[in-house]
Amino acid sequence: MWHDHMWWGWGGVVMMILWIVLLAAIIYWIIRAVQRNNTPYAGQESAMDILKKRYARGEISKQEFEERKRDLSE
């Protein structure tokens, strides 16, 4: 009888550890998902890259380039 009680006691501890691990995994997954959505993709151009290309193609003047560059750096 005592051994059965001891087994259930260990089972409770193991179950508690499994729940903690599961909860930690869920929290980790949520944090990773949020961080992934906040970072630009590797292939995505930054605003500065687009601005430089527009200036290089002659779509905007040097003055407009400098103004927009200043706005982006703020």
> Using an 8 Å Cβ cutoff, are 49 and 63 in contact?
no
Burial 19-34 (b: 16+ CB within 10 A, else e): eeeeeeeeeeeeeeee
How far is it, in rounded angstroms, from Cα 24 to Cα 18?
10
Confidence of residue 7 (pLDDT cuts 50, 70, 90): low
Q: What is the pLDDT of residue 1?
A: 46
Report the predicted TM-score, pTM, of the whole model to 2 decimal places: 0.42
Encode pLDDT of 12-70 as tens digits.
Answer: 778 889 999 999 999 999 998 888 776 656 567 888 999 999 999 999 999 999 999 99
